[in-house]
Amino acid sequence: MRLAPRIPFSETVYIKCNGGWIKAKGVDLSLFGVKIQVADDECDDKKSVKLKLPLKSKPAVLNGRFYRKESDKAVILFEEHESILADIVGRLLTDSLRKIKRCPYCRKTIRDGADRCGHCGMPLDFSKRDLVSTLKQIRIGDLLLRRTKETPEEDRTEERKEFIGTCPQMKKVFDLIRKYASTDYPVLILGETGTGKELTARAIHERSSRRDKPFIAINCAAIPKELIEAELFGFEKGAFTGADRRKKGKVELADGGTLFLDEIGELPQEAQAKLLRFLEDFTIERLGGTQTIRCDVRIIAATNRDLEELVEKGEFREDLYYRLKVLTIHLPPLRERGDDVVIMAKYFLKKFAKEQDKDIIGFTNEALELIKNYSWPGNVRELINVIRKAVVLTDRKYVDVEDLDIDASKVSSSVVSKGGIFNLREHIDRIERDLLEKAYRITGGNISRMAAMLGVSRPTIYKLMEKHRISQNSR
Ligand SMILES: Nc1ncnc2c1ncn2[C@@H]1O[C@H](COP(=O)(O)OP(=O)(O)OP(=O)(O)O)[C@@H](O)[C@H]1O
Ligand SMILES: [Mg+2]
């Protein structure tokens, strides 16, 4: 049985994402979130967003987090206090249920204005804060138990991945990895998405004296805020509704090894305070427990956000920031790694062609030129995906420009592709010449009529005819 009912909700909602409002179509609404239809590239997964809900009185704006479910569907889970959820979403749900007049639990008809279903006895007034707060508690317990079942205790089977880099910036990174591996201090890894932050964390662990102990990774952005402390520090049986057994947290599981805190900038304030305390004495207490447990864990944190800015905004603790940033590694974006992009592209092409058992020899010169000039906003991860897709789809022996699924608007203007598919100037010239020839044919070469037809002046027509070498013999 659902903890809180969902209602069909086909209203237009607005989501504030990447600075602007985007429009999406609601699918259904529950107390904890809304399911929407929204295009794949409109908003990034796990991003904090604002959601404008249409209400009869005036639109309400709620904070939430965006989770992509399918290419055209996503959910936004509300990150709001229960009083706000009750007042806004709860009221909306209750009103709709009263209109639908059917109990969301047992599907029987409900009496007008009833607070509870007369058949199954379930509460129906979701605008009551107590009910919302109880449902939230139960939901947290339920989510935690589901995670306990879903997530393997530790991941030591990760295949060893290649780490490619020949440019001076990457050589410096490799040098720092070696140096940092011999210490036990926290490390902070900074870099854009897909630059290899997790790979770097693993490389440090594998070169350290902890290499035979666990490497545990946790993505702070992927875990709902309410659950993160329980995930990190564990909980005792009975710590909250639904906690029917003790569970160790990631810190305890990483004992003797390394704990990698990915997207540390997303760690909520309370968890930041607890992490700082842990870094001071290396002890933890499980949620709902009283026992102090010593854990020998090395912390490596990573983020693609500007932590200094988060500190200034008061969203990240300054003391924790200073504690973490003593040993820092900055991973350069792929576009600043010179020939590494080509070396990597060739490496992955060979690897995927072998995996797919395809007879691909290499890239055409134009394809290599494009790879070199593209800005790779998704960095190495994007490069890997583009090459993997090209290998699957191409029937050629040499992967060509058309095989590369690259956004042409992010190619540097200096690229001149021989095939001309990205050369805007060539396209414009071709269109210009076609139109000019058409106008010439229709008007029989009458300059005034050509000028009127194309909406330009007569001197412009003369200039264009000269440029495209159009004369009487074009007729
Ligand atoms: N220098 C490299 N050589 C080979 N593969 C790499 C390199 N850098 C990254 N990769 C690969 O690119 C992919 C993305 O790397 P990783 O997950 O470490 O990036 P990230 O910085 O943690 O990304 P995000 O910010 O999105 O979490 C992985 O498959 C990784 O193995
Ligand atoms: Mg990562």
Q: Model confidence over 58-81: pLDDT tens digits?
A: 778 888 998 888 888 899 998 888
Between strands 48-53 and 20-29, the pairing is unpaired
Tokens of 128: 């009551």
How many angstroms separate the CA atoms of 254 and 257, rounded? 5
Q: What is the pLDDT of residue 130?
A: 79
For the domain covering 168-330, report its CATH number. Answer: 3.40.50.300
pLDDT for residue 97 is more than 60: yes
Asked if the domains 7-142 and 168-330 are classified in one and the same CATH topology, the answer is no
pLDDT for residue 157 is more than 50: no
| 376 vs 242, residue with greater confidence | 376
DSSP annotation string for 296-364 = --EEEEEESS-HHHHHHTTSS-HHHHHHHTTEEEEPPPGGGSTTHHHHHHHHHHHHHHHHHT----EE-
Q: Which helix (H) or strand (E) holds 383?
A: helix 379-393
| 301 vs 80, residue with greater confidence | 301
Q: What is the pLDDT of residue 419?
A: 46
Q: Which helix (H) or strand (E) holds 77?
A: strand 73-78
Please count the other Cβ atoms lying within 10 Å of the Cβ belonging to residue 235.
23
User: 269 CA to middle of ligand 1, Å?
Assistant: 28
Residue 469 pLDDT level (bands cut at 50, 70, 90): confident
Helix ranges (H only) for 107-159 are: 129-150
Q: Whose CA is nearest to atom 15 of ligand 1?
A: 196
Residue 291 pLDDT level (bands cut at 50, 70, 90): very high
Angstrom CA distances, 195 to 223, 269, 375, stand at 22, 27, 13
How many angstroms separate the CA atoms of 244 and 48, rounded? 31
pLDDT for residue 113 is more than 60: yes
> Which neighbouring-strand residues pair with 189?
302, 329
pLDDT for residue 154 is more than 50: no
pLDDT for residue 170 is more than 90: yes
pLDDT for residue 169 is more than 90: yes
Tokens of 105: 């639990």
Q: What is the pLDDT of residue 413?
A: 53
Q: What is the pLDDT of residue 258?
A: 97
Contact present, 230 and 148 (Cβ < 8 Å) = no
pLDDT for residue 131 is more than 50: yes
Residue 141 pLDDT level (bands cut at 50, 70, 90): low
How many angstroms separate the CA atoms of 205 and 201, rounded? 6
Query: Tens digits of per-residue pLDDT, 398-449?
Result: 999 989 998 766 676 554 444 444 566 666 777 888 888 888 888 888 999 9
Considering the entire predicted model, what is its pTM?
0.63
Q: Return the ligand 1 atom nearest residue 383 CA.
A: 12
Q: What is the pLDDT of residue 153?
A: 43
Between strands 7-8 and 20-29, the pairing is antiparallel
Residue 264 pLDDT level (bands cut at 50, 70, 90): very high
Protein residues placing their CB within 5 Å of the ion ligand 2: 197-198, 262
Residue 475 pLDDT level (bands cut at 50, 70, 90): very low
**Is the CB–ligand 1 distance for residue 332 below 6 Å?**
no
Lowest model confidence (mean pLDDT) among 103-107, 374-378, 455-459: 103-107
Question: How large is the average pLDDT for residues 328-332?
Answer: 97
Q: Which CATH architecture has domain 335-410?
A: Orthogonal Bundle (1.10)
Q: What percent of the chain is modeled with pLDDT above 70?
A: 89
Q: Return the ligand 1 atom nearest residue 200 CA.
A: 18
Domain ranges of the chain: 7-142, 168-330, 335-410, 424-474
**Is the CB–ligand 1 distance for residue 162 below 6 Å?**
yes
> Which neighbouring-strand residues pair with 18?
none
**Is the CB–ligand 1 distance for residue 163 below 6 Å?**
yes
Question: How large is the average pLDDT for residues 30-38?
Answer: 90
How many angstroms separate the CA atoms of 69 and 74, rounded? 5
**Is the CB–ligand 1 distance for residue 145 below 6 Å?**
no
| 141 vs 16, residue with greater confidence | 16
**Is the CB–ligand 1 distance for residue 327 below 6 Å?**
no
Question: How large is the average pLDDT for residues 89-99?
Answer: 86
User: 221 CA to middle of ligand 1, Å?
Assistant: 17
CATH classification number, 7-142, choose in 2.60.40.420, 3.30.420.40, 2.30.110.10, 2.40.10.220: 2.40.10.220
Q: In whole numbers, what is the pLDDT of the chain averaged over residues?
A: 86
User: 351 CA to middle of ligand 2, Å?
Assistant: 22
pLDDT for residue 227 is more than 80: yes
Q: What percent of the chain is modeled with pLDDT above 90?
A: 51
| 470 vs 378, residue with greater confidence | 378
